[in-house]
Amino acid sequence: MKRTSIRRAALPGIAVLGLAVSVSACAAGNETSNSGSASGSLSGTLNGGGSSAQESAMSAWRAGFQSQNGDGVTVNYDPVGSGTGRANFISGAYMFAGSDAALSTDAGELDKAKQRCGGDVIEVPDYVSPIAVIYHLDGVDNLQLSPETLADIFAGKITTWDDPAIAKDNPDAQLPSTRITPVHRADDSGTTENFTDYLNQASNGHWKWEKDGVWPIKGGESGEGTSGLVAAVKAGQGTIGYADESQAGDLGQAAIKVGSSYNKPSAEGAAKVLAVSPKVPGRGKNDMAIAVDRTTTEPGAYPIMLTSYLIACPTYDNANDAALVKGFMSYIVSDAGQKAAAEQAGSAPLDPKLASEASSIIDQISGK
């Protein structure tokens, strides 16, 4: 059964990521070029938050935006998780949100976002990254897993590392009898939604739950946010989890079977999947939500990946708020912003056509 949880969280008094930037020229005429440089005379505070998978990339965007623009504007981004980010955007606590999953129609999120915006809602991709299957198992350095085996591990059907199914995927490995401890996200997470979407699409029925940002199985080991999950995997022995590859650290990363090959997580592999995936039908003209094809057998593809989105309104009551949102989001999808994220977080830059479309949509943001 599918469960979707939208948790409304009060806007934190102190944001985790903050910066002071200033821009020069008029707010209403704020424009961003392909290089991400902006012109405008801005002041005030821009509050956003959501995806913790984007945290490393957001640090790069913060630094790049500040370097280009100087002092004056405060931008706060809280990596509280995609679900809380979307909820806080819908409630009006955030002016923009970062989410590793598009606004849900099943949970009514899209309709609620439209109500908040007074009409259409902007949803553009900003970050493409592999989700690594991370593990901590002494003596096993090159773990390989088929989607069926991976699904059975996280469903609790495979409980020890020397299980025949794992041995079949790893004929040359010396697998211990250590008990497997799967670790999942404790919060409503876009990373979880992408991971469960992969398990549902690719495991040939071994995973019985639909995609969901809330882990569908009660109990078990969990961690809050990306950093909490990574810490839990690192602290155990025989543990396995899933996290944005940029934050996997020195933990083992499994190669996943795609077609007849086992592929390691890579930005290039994630980008290949995005390139063959269609848009979600029936969305608004400013909504670029993508239906990721997890079953592709494209050579080198890595289908356990996420496409993060920036979520905003096309119109804001305050013209200065609109200029702040427009300026920062324009930098993120610009060549400079995408290059900064790739260098810092190892993400895949947006395809030029996607980036151009996103930029055109963001450029429409205005104040009343």
Q: Which residues contact 164 (CB under 8 A, 6 or more apart)?
A: none
Residue 17 C-alpha from the chain's centroid: 17
191 is in an annotated binding site: yes
360 is in an annotated binding site: no
Write down the residue that tokens 């985790």 correspond to: 16
DSSP state at residue 179: B
Within 13 Å of residue 333, how many CA atoms lie on the same side as its CB?
Answer: 28
48 is in an annotated binding site: no
Q: Is 282 exposed, middle or buried (0-12, 13-18, 19+ CB in 10 A)?
A: exposed
Reported in sequence order, the residue ranges of 188-287 that DSSP labels E, i.e. its strands, are 221-223, 239-244, 252-253, 255-258, 261-263
CA-based R_g, the chain, Å: 20
User: How far, in Å, CA of 349 to CA of 334, rounded?
Assistant: 10
DSSP for 92-147, written as a single string: TS-SEEEESSPPPTTTTHHHHHHHHHTS--EEEEEEEEEEEEEEE-TT--S-EE-H
100 is in an annotated binding site: yes
Q: What phi and psi values does residue 67 have, to the nearest 5 degrees?
A: -60, -40
User: How far, in Å, CA of 287 to CA of 266, rounded?
Assistant: 26
70 is in an annotated binding site: no
189 is in an annotated binding site: yes
Is residue 277 within 8 A of residue 179, CB to CB? The reply is no
CA distances from 147 to 104, 226, 238, 343 (A): 25, 22, 19, 30
- Binding region for phosphate: 51-53, 82, 100, 189-191
- Binding region: 51-53, 82, 100, 189-191
